[in-house]
Amino acid sequence: MAWAKDSWYDATAAYRVTMRILILVVLYRTSPQESKTLRQLAVQECGAGHTYDLLVWDNSPEPCNAESQAWMNEMFQTIEYRSTPANIPLSDIYTATIRMLLSSVAPYDFLMLFDQDSNLSKDFIQNMLEATEMWPDVGMYLPTVRAASHFSPASLHWFKGSFWTHPRKGLVSSRFTTAINSGMLLRAGFLRDHFHGFPQGILLYGTDTWLCQKYAQFYSHVCVADIVMDHGLSQFEVEDVEKKLWRHREIVRSTYVLNRQNPLRATLCLAYLFFQSLRAAFKFRDMRFLSCRN
């Protein structure tokens, strides 16, 4: 299904109108001043008079202190800070943010999602917005995210994913394409027309995959902007076994939720998850990985 051209867009027009963006940054056990994402958002050049409002959602056990509040107020013109010490699911944070975006008296054009440790160039937002002007029929815009020698977006066939070995640019088929959340830019129209919340069981992992799969049901292409963002991925980080076990359990549950639509796909997914659990059990020499359930 193609996106109808926005009323403001004219391929022959020499001007650009102002677009409003809501940017969400999710923090966990990191102060605002220590967040690489926030420090680099503070020096962004949006270009063409575009504006953004910043929502900092802090999932840390304790709210930030007065010094951090003062730093944010000094660095950003329009900012809202929310603290949820209970460490609520990421899917709940996204759902609440999208509802906020759609219910705003002054309508937003886009939602941009970020983790706390994304490495942004100074013209990141400007380049992403230029992509929206070049391809106005698209509802999802993605940066190339580099983690070690791997790249996102990536390919995902049901439950089996594979990183791209080299970056791609421009329009890419949305079918079998997935991407991490950080840096993702979504048109408000896509969210308004097609977002109805996340499936039960999608808490942290799987939010990005679900958004991409939902998007692919209605749009034939995503746009990969001409911008590279460095970002760490947990699967490449050195962690203790307890943390790896926790992540593995979360991934097993969310992967099954995303692939339970029909008996064949669900059965194949369970077999895949069993072998992944077996592989992890041997790698970390811990048989608890075999006890993970969807």
| Residue indicated by tokens 């292409």 | 221
Q: For residue 69, what pLDDT is reported? A: 96
Q: For residue 291, what pLDDT is reported? A: 80
Buried b (16+ CB within 10 A) or exposed e, 169-194: eeebebeebbbbbbbbbbbbebbeee
CB contact at 8 A, 168 and 221: no
pLDDT tens by residue, the chain, 294 residues? 333 334 333 433 333 468 899 999 999 999 999 999 999 999 987 766 678 999 999 999 999 999 999 999 999 989 999 999 999 999 999 999 999 999 998 899 999 999 999 999 999 999 999 999 999 999 999 999 987 777 889 999 999 988 887 778 999 999 999 999 999 999 999 999 999 999 999 999 999 999 999 999 999 999 999 999 987 665 556 678 998 999 999 999 999 999 998 999 999 999 999 999 999 999 999 899 888 666
Contacts of residue 106, Cβ cutoff 8 Å, sequence gap at least 6: 20
pTM (two decimals): 0.90
Indicate the pairing of strand 140-147 with strand 221-230. parallel
Amino acid at 283: K
Tokens read off for 140? 């999802």
Cα separation of 49 and 137, whole Å? 22
Tokens read off for 162? 């594979």
SS3 58: strand
Indicate the pairing of strand 51-58 with strand 79-83. parallel
Cα separation of 225 and 127, whole Å? 7
Cα separation of 128 and 123, whole Å? 9
**Peptide bond before 153: cis, by omega within 30 degrees of 0?**
yes
SS3 16: coil
Cα separation of 48 and 18, whole Å? 7
Q: Of 283, 90, 92, whose CA–CA distance to 205 is shortest? A: 90
CB contact at 8 A, 150 and 163: yes
